[in-house]
Amino acid sequence: MKLSTKHLLGIKDLLPEDISLILSTAAQFKEVLQRPVKKVPSLRDVTIVNLFYENSTRTRMSFELAEKRLSADVMNFTASSSSAAKGETLLDTVNNILSMKVDMVVMRHSASGAPHFLAQHIPAAIVNAGDGINEHPTQALLDAFSMQEKFGSLKGLKVALIGDILHSRVALSNMYLLKKMGAEITVAGPPTLIPVHLQAALGVNITYNLAEALQWCDVANVLRIQLERQNQPLFSSLREYNLAYGITRKVLDGLKKEIVIMHPGPINRGVELDSDVADGPHSIILQQVENGVAVRMAALYLLAGREN
């Protein structure tokens, strides 16, 4: 089976069958990752560059490990230590890299749409590793994989996305994916961090009441407050935010049921999530990170295997 697309620019462009194919392929790679020898030759002779114009820990390391586990040749580019800092354009940088015979580009950029722009101008397959406030497709795929692993199916699953929905590419990719796969979504947070058009555009429920969202859901995916993307304050203080929307042990104990807690990282401990919840028995945050490698292996493998 093949993906319907040459690039992985966003979940918005994927068919439900593409998502199912990536998730089932990831399950096979997860099994490979449990073996004593974790490496397979699937992408031997494929050269991949990781082009990171914005900071990253998990995503970058996860892609690099996924590529190495697939036996690809890997190059890493960091904008701050490159000629981009001398004023070279994105297209010039990438064309120079491609002339070294690179097959795939994994790209993170602070501008929404940067990987889409590249995809229109270069022949290599592009994987979006996070573009501005737009999408972070592999994060949504690994979140979906982790939810499916925990609950068996995404269909009918009640997912709450909590916090900075406005600036979160993880939230948007999750909303696209969960809707395509038949889950129910409620977004919760302060009114200033939730675009009101989401309800009509994506069919998600909106609430400004944290307890209501948590009482409703099976799983809460808690998002980081993206202070670096806020030009003006959108709530009075981090302490105020924590008091109204922070998930604490006490908040969870007040629910009439148990829910699963997720977070894409990096966590602002004591702001959106308290440590005893992040590190507690209901958190699957580290499983998400583990699953990220298998999911990225699946995405890279499927994109590389496409005939053009």
Measure the CA–CA gap between 222 and 247, rounded to whole angstroms.
Answer: 8
Angle (CA) 218-224-227 rounded to 5° is 155
For residue 8, the minimal CB distance to ligand ASP (Å) is: 15
Read off the tokens for 92.
């010039």
Q: Which helix (H) or strand (E) holds 219?
A: strand 219-222
Backbone angles phi, psi at 22, to 5 degrees: -65, -45
Distance CA 235, CA 156 (A): 33
In single-letter form, the type of residue at position 178 comes to L
Q: Tell me which residue has its CB nearest to ligand ASP.
A: 224
Question: What are the b/e assignments for 146-168, b being 16+ CB within 10 Å?
Answer: bbbbebeebeebbbbbbbbbbbb
Torsion of CA 273, 274, 280, 282, to 10 degrees: -30
C-beta of 256: minimal distance to ligand ASP in Å? 30
Nearer to ligand ASP, 77 or 216 (CB): 77
Closest to ligand ASP by CB, 216 or 292: 292
How near is the Cβ of 173 to ligand ASP at its closest, in Å? 9
CB of 136 to ligand ASP, least distance (A): 5
Q: Choose between 43 and 137: whose C-beta lies nearer to ligand ASP.
A: 137
CB of 44 to ligand ASP, least distance (A): 29
Comparing CB distances to ligand ASP, the nearer of 130 and 158 is 130
User: How big is the CA angle at 227 (ends 88 and 292), to the nearest 5 degrees?
Assistant: 75
CB of 223 to ligand ASP, least distance (A): 6
Residue 260 Cα distances to 7, 172, 216, angstroms? 32, 20, 12
Instruction: Give the span between the Cα atoms of 55 and 60, in whole angstroms.
Output: 9
Considering beta carbons, is residue 265 or 280 the nearer one to ligand ASP? 265
Minimum distance from residue 261 beta carbon to ligand ASP (Å): 15
Distance between CA atoms of residues 289 and 30, nearest Å: 12
Enumerate binding residues for ligand ASP (CB under 6 A): 59, 130, 136, 169-170, 224, 226, 264-265
CA distance 144 to 45: 30
In the complex with ligand ASP, the residue whose CB is nearer, 47 or 134, is 134
By beta-carbon proximity to ligand ASP, the closer residue of 56 and 82 is 56
